[in-house]
């Protein structure tokens, strides 16, 4: 059981350290953790945000635990050298096309979200975000128009097989939950979305038990704060899923709580919090490590088949919150390590 641990930049190393402590505490037979450099940290050390050695480590492992990448001191670099290319490169190189981002309200946090408690308490949803296509991976560039104006451009596209395989993941997830799937697109404006919608409707024929609905992304953003309890599984493209999942995190209290799994065909996966490197609080011991700890739980479940161990971690995090131990992101005073300690005690 070889796990690659890529901590990255900013709060990445701080939150990853706590998740590693949790994994080690479980004392799983045969568990081996191997580190690798990614992001700005890798750029400053090796001249590239995703060095070949790191990719080799990733390929030699069964799964990756990932912290975060992003360093404003690298924002002037050519795009292919920027820290974010590490996570984008891993997703593409390793075929991690299915991104699962669950969001549910923890007991005791109902009053701490930015929604009214009676609205927030109903949230239990899963965003299934496509991760290998869309405007993220299309051709892009900066050019000069004939009249001298600069123009930036990015090509948005989905091929039908790309939509079909993520739709399958969405329908399967819905079958394992309450059999409701909402596909989010912008088919009223974008051809990319029209194809998305057509293909999702085709795939729906294979899942007659699932109730499929479609929603435009602008309405979905509104409904997510108006009545998030109406959603169960949401399936959407790369860009819309990125935005809606940050929004969903605040609906349940904090971005420091949302974990994610990025899966390839089979059991290989990368697991990371949905948040970034949070440069504004990095190095201060203030980051909430729960999203990363919960990502480690998803890793045990999806890539190693260790359901019981995963459930133990999730229960320990839930108990920590129910006991009132909260980071600054939730209006509490506990620091990163203190939260890690509290979760370990409850394990
Ligand atoms: P961010 O998610 O890093 O931070 C947004 C806000 O949330 C900040 O105020 C931050 O302090 C807070 N926050 C985030 N995680 C937290 C935690 N665990 N505990 C407490 N507070 C937390 O987003 P950003 O500021 O837009 O981006 C910062 C950098 O991170 C950028 O370089 C961006 O590209 C990168 N980024 C990387 C990933 C990734 O590695 N997968 C994801 C998102 C953003
Ligand atoms: C995320 C992040 C990434 C994304 C960035 C860092 C490339 O925001 O994982 O949500 O946009 O996918
Ligand atoms: Mn994001």
The pLDDT score that the predictor gives to residue 313 is: 98
pLDDT at position 15 is 98
Residues 214 and 291 in one domain: no
Q: What pLDDT was estimated at residue 73?
A: 97
Nearest by Cα to 347 from 297, 323, 312, 318? 312
Residue 63 and residue 121 in one domain: no
Report which ligand 2 atom has the smallest distance to the Cα of 272.
9
> What does pLDDT average to over the chain?
97
Residues 81 and 93 sit within 8 Å (Cβ to Cβ): no
Show Cβ contacts of residue 91 under 8 Å, excluding neighbours closer than 6 positions: 97, 131, 132, 262, 270
Residues 257-306 pLDDT 10s: 999 999 999 999 999 999 999 999 999 999 999 999 999 999 999 999 99
Instruction: Find the domain containing 24 and state its range.
Output: 1-97+264-347
From the CB of 88, is ligand 2 less than 6 Å away?
yes
**pLDDT tens for residues 145-201?**
999 999 999 999 999 999 999 999 999 999 999 999 999 999 999 999 999 999 999
| Same domain flag for 142 and 218 | yes
Residues carrying an active site annotation: 136, 186, 218, 242, 246
Report pLDDT digits (tens) over 112-134.
Answer: 999 999 999 999 999 999 999 99
Q: How many structural domains are present in the chain?
A: 2
Q: 72 with 215, same domain?
A: no
Asked if residues 167 and 198 have their Cβ atoms less than 8 Å apart, the reply is no
Average pLDDT over residues 18-25: 98
| Ligand 2 contact via 173 beta carbon (within 6 Å) | no
| Residues 221 and 310 placed together within one structural domain of the fold | no
- Using a 6 Å cutoff on CB, does residue 14 contact ligand 1? no
Rounded to 5 degrees, φ, ψ at 284 are -105, -5
What's the pLDDT tens digit per position in 99-111? 999 999 999 999 9
The pLDDT value recorded for residue 166 is: 98
CATH code of residue 146: 3.40.718.10
Nearest CA to ligand 1 atom 31: 70
State which of 257, 276, 311 marks the end of a domain.
257
pTM of the model: 0.98
What confidence tens digit (pLDDT) does each residue in 42-55 have? 999 999 999 999 99
128 and 242, same domain (yes or no) = yes
**pLDDT score, position 55:** 98
Same domain assignment for residues 50 and 111: no
Q: Do 198 and 118 share a structural domain?
A: yes
Residue 109 and residue 60 in one domain = no
* Same-domain pairing of 1 and 11: yes
> If pLDDT is split at 50, 70 and 90, which confidence band does 135 have?
very high
């Amino acid at each position: 059981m070889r796990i690659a641990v890529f901590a990255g930049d900013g709060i990445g190393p701080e939150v990853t350290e706590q998740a590693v402590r949790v994994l080690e505490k479980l004392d799983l037979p045969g568990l081996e953790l191997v580190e690798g450099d990614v992001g700005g940290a890798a750029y400053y050390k090796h001249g590239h945000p995703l060095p070949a050695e790191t990719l080799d480590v990733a390929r030699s492992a069964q799964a990756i635990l990932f912290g975060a990448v992003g360093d404003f001191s690298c924002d002037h670099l050519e795009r292919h050298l920027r820290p974010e290319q590490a996570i984008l490169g891993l997703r593409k190189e390793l075929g991690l096309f299915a991104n699962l981002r669950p969001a549910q309200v923890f007991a005791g946090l109902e009053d701490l979200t930015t929604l009214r408690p009676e609205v927030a308490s109903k949230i239990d949803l899963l965003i299934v975000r496509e991760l290998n296509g869309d405007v993220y991976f299309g051709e892009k560039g900066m050019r000069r128009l004939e009249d001298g104006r600069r123009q930036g451009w990015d090509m948005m596209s989905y091929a039908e097989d790309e939509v079909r395989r993520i739709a399958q993941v969405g329908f399967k997830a819905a079958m394992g939950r309450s059999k409701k799937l909402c596909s989010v697109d912008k088919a009223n404006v974008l051809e990319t979305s029209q194809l998305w919608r057509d293909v999702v409707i085709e795939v729906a024929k294979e899942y007659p038990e699932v109730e499929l609905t479609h929603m435009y992304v602008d309405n979905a953003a509104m409904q997510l704060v108006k009545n998030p309890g109406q959603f169960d599984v949401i399936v959407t493209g790369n860009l819309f899923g990125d935005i809606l999942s940050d929004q969903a995190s605040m609906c349940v209290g904090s971005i420091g709580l949302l974990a994610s799994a990025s899966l390839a065909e089979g059991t290989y996966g990368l697991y990371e919090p949905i948040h970034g490197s949070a440069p504004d609080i990095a190095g201060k011991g203030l980051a909430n490590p729960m999203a990363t700890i919960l990502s480690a739980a998803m890793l045990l479940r999806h890539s190693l088949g260790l359901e019981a161990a995963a459930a133990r971690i999730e229960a320990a995090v839930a108990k920590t919150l129910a006991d009132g131990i909260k980071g600054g992101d939730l209006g509490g005073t506990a620091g990163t390590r203190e939260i890690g300690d509290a979760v370990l005690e409850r394990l």
